[in-house]
Amino acid sequence: MRQENIRNIAIIAHVDHGKTTMVDQMLKATDAFRENQQVQERVLDSNDQERERGITILAKNISIEYHDVKINVIDTPGHADFGGEVERVLRMADGALLLVDAAEGPMPQTRFVLRHAIDAGLAIMIVVNKIDRDGARPEEVVNGSLDLMMDLGATDEQLEFSMEHVIFASAVNGFARLAPDDGNDDMYPLLDMIVDGLPAPEADPDGPLAMQCVTVDHSSYVGRIGIGRIYSGTIHDADKILVVKNDGSRAMSQVKQLFTFDYLGRKECSEVKAGDIAALVGVDSTDIGDVYTDPDNPVELEPIEIDPPTLSVIFEPSTSPLVGREGDIVGARQLKERLTTERENNVTMRIEELPDKTGIEVAGRGILHLSVLMEAMRREGFEFQVGRPRVLFKKDENGTLTEPVEQSVVECAGEYSGKVIEVFGNAGGTMTSMETGTAQTHLEFKIPTRGIMGLKNRILNVTHGDAIFYHTFLEYGPYVGELGVRQNGAMISMSTEKAVAYALGTLQERGALFVGPGDECYEGMLVGERSKPGDMVVNIARTKSLGNQRSSTADIAVQLTPPRSFTLEEALEYIMEDELVEVTPRSVRLRKRLLTETERRKWSVRNGKVNK
């Protein structure tokens, strides 16, 4: 039985192809806002980091109403590090809008999200976005999208549906068209095609209850909130339900509150019928994959497996000489409590305290995934330090050591392609595809996740900034052995003082600086990178010796190159095993794990290493 008054759709695309902006226009077209209401762009990107980075981090549910049909819309992340969100939320949908940039065409993450949509059996509508931008080639992009669907094993029915359901749009200008130049200037053709073309959910409201939790929200008032689709039956407020975990364990629970999605918010209700998406309060410690079903007539659903993390970092309380100057929260106990809370709220991360209690290991899907947490904590006033990200190896059924492997894509001018291939070769990558166009060369590689760290900067250097670089998790593959690490040594401060321009003027001849005049530095802090291998201890507070004779022209102003600054992701990729990133609300500093030169020499002797 199909619920004709409901449509459940997901919006999927490569990062920055316009998903959230498209949702904005759908909301405006269905009168979600008052006529005089001031609405910010990308209204669903409510998180500060989402707005600043210009990416969607968390999947979000909204609903709109059009021609008496409720359309549940799921806005999904586009970045590979948050791909686990996409896989799960597609279970709530019957169809998907595949947004593709009219100039760029299908990109690596397009392949990733499309594969999951095809595997889920969704009806896929192709939306060619940004048809007004320079270099747009909408017809070619449609053909490229269909070719990609064929490559990914789409069924004949899916291909036929996608060929018949194509929309050309410009989300930023608020129009959707059946043909690129038909002159329509509103979003109604897209909404009409969703209602008339995409399938209604097939469900039996009178059958036994079956609902599966695919997303977990958290409230400080009511605890965890399970969000999912009701596949059959009807759920009522105060119902007694059976909760079946992924491991097969069962427990009784009671519904305390029940919500459906209503435009940008949630509406509390007394019942929700099959086919709709609901948010449920009352199941203690609910997890992704939990099935809420009828105790007398339980229904079994396929369990949901959360993607295993591929990278981990160790969070430790800061031991910097400058600790407490910029942040309010510096203690080990507060750090542990904050990360314990994160473990409750964020089921996509694995957070465990180390056996020796010296730190907490946080494992996630990639460096961006981990740095989003660090950025949130520093904005809350935390000071802490983290080590170099470690790739999580595992053994297959034969006992062979395997490691995560990424698919990487680089688009650059043909003259730089040789250098890019060389960079990937040195990082353990293997080229799998090369397409030469008139302006750009398209290169694809398989490369261990370990090799990805620090790769972006090297690619931008060899292409003079003229490259587009993307990567996404592909599979676990055989361990490829030791990979090259940073070749250049570091300049390490020998004292805890403010940097002086005169000293920096002489040091910048030896390499690149990370600090400027007046910056607070401490012993063991990395203040620059040498142009040669081997670390070098430097005096950043040295001043010019004054003689007896002075004249107005005796001193010439020091010309300093602006210091290199690091984002959190860049700092995590840059450091070595014996280095740490110190994170404070105002600064990201690099330092040695052992601050004094004496300690570092002793460590080198104990471990049989030569301290250069």
Q: What pLDDT is stored for residue 483 in this prediction?
A: 75
CATH number at residue 285: 2.40.30.10
Residue 501 and residue 465 share a domain? no
For residue 19, say whether it is annotated as part of any ligand binding site: yes
- Please give the average per-residue pLDDT across 529-548, as a whole number: 84
Is 132 labelled as part of a ligand binding site? yes
CATH number at residue 408: 3.30.70.240
Per-residue pLDDT tens over the stretch 432-465:
988 887 778 888 899 988 888 778 878 888 888 8
20-62 pLDDT, tens digit per residue, is 788 888 888 887 654 444 444 444 444 555 444 545 445 567 8
Domain endpoint, select from 260, 293, 326: 293
Q: Check the annotation: does 21 bind a ligand.
A: yes
Q: Could you tell me the CA-to-CA distances from 489 to 59, 404, 512, 580 in Å, in that order? A: 42, 28, 11, 15
pLDDT > 90? residue 524: yes
Q: Which residues contact 603 (CB under 8 A, 6 or more apart)?
A: 578, 594, 609
Residue 51 in contact with residue 45, Cβ under 8 Å?
Answer: yes
User: Do 47 and 109 fall into the same domain?
Assistant: yes
346 lies in a domain? no
**Percent of the chain with pLDDT strictly greater than 90:** 19
Looking at the fold, whether 69 and 157 belong to one and the same domain comes out as: yes
17 carries a ligand binding annotation: yes
Question: Quick check: 173 pLDDT over 80?
Answer: yes
Residue 307: name the closest of 292, 291, 289, 320 by CA: 289
pLDDT of residue 93: 87
Is 230 contained in some domain?
A: yes
Please give the distance of CA 247 from its chain centroid, rounded to a whole number.
28
Quote the number of domains for the chain: 4
Q: 243 lies in a domain? A: yes
- Residue 321 resides in a domain: no
pLDDT of residue 32: 63
Verify that 77 and 188 share a domain, yes or no.
Answer: yes
Tell whether the model's pLDDT for residue 83 goes beyond 70: no
Query: What is the rounded average pLDDT for all residues in the chain?
Result: 83
Per-residue pLDDT, averaged over 550-577, amounts to 76
pLDDT digits (tens, 9 = 90+) for 113-170: 788 888 888 999 999 998 988 888 889 999 999 998 998 888 999 999 999 999 999 9
Higher pLDDT, 17 or 499: 499
Beta-carbon neighbour count of residue 425 at 10 Å?
A: 14
**Model pTM score:** 0.73
Residue with the larger pLDDT of the pair 97 and 610: 97
- 124-133: per-residue pLDDT in tens? 999 999 898 8
**Which residue has better confidence, 39 or 472?**
472
Is 400 in the same domain as 511?
Answer: no
Dump pLDDT digits (tens) for 174-201.
889 898 888 888 889 999 999 998 888 8
Count H helices and E strands in the chain, helices first.
Answer: 15, 33
- What is the pLDDT at residue 610? 57
- What the block records as the tokens of 4 is 């004709």
Please give the C-alpha separations between residue 352 and each of 50, 286, 348, 359, in angstroms, as whole numbers: 26, 19, 13, 9
Chosen domain end from 441, 457, 478? 478
Residues 267 and 127 in one domain: no
- Condensed to tens digits (0 to 9), the pLDDT of residues 212-263 reads 888 777 777 777 788 888 998 888 888 888 888 877 888 888 888 888 888 7
- Does 436 reside within a domain? yes
Quote the CA–CA distance of 338 and 149 in Å, as a whole number.
43
Tokens 């990733």 sit at which residue? 112
The residue ranking higher by pLDDT, 253 or 77, is: 253
228 with 179, same domain? no
Q: What one-character-per-residue DSSP string does 60-74 give?
A: EEEEEEETTEEEEEE
pLDDT given for residue 46 in this prediction: 46
Identify the pLDDT of residue 42. 40
More confident residue, 515 or 87: 515
Domain assignment present for residue 81? The answer is yes
In a domain, 526, yes or no: yes
Question: Mean per-residue pLDDT for 384-413?
Answer: 87
| CATH classification at residue 149 | 3.40.50.300
CATH (domain of 536): 2.40.50.250
Range of the domain at 271: 210-293
3-state per-residue secondary structure call for 358-414: CCEEEEECCHHHHHHHHHHHHHCCECEEECCCEECCEECCCCCEEEEEEEEEEEECH
Regarding whether 111 and 51 lie in a shared domain, the answer is yes
Residues 511 and 544 in one domain: yes
Of the candidates 156, 175, 197, which is a domain's last residue? 197
Query: Is 290 flagged in the annotation as binding?
Result: no
pLDDT at 108 over 80: no
Tell me: do 40 and 137 sit in the same domain.
yes
Distance from C-alpha of 278 to C-alpha of 230, rounded to nearest angstrom? 7
Quote the CA–CA distance of 610 and 523 in Å, as a whole number: 21
Can you tell me which residue has the tokens 């609910």?
Answer: 286
Give me the mean pLDDT over the 10-20 stretch: 78
Domain shared by 221 and 187, yes or no: no
- Neighbouring residues of 304: CB distance < 8 A, sequence distance ≥ 6: 88, 91, 212, 214, 246, 288, 289
Write down the pLDDT at residue 157: 92
Q: Would you say residue 205 lies in a domain?
A: no
One domain, residues 263 and 214: yes
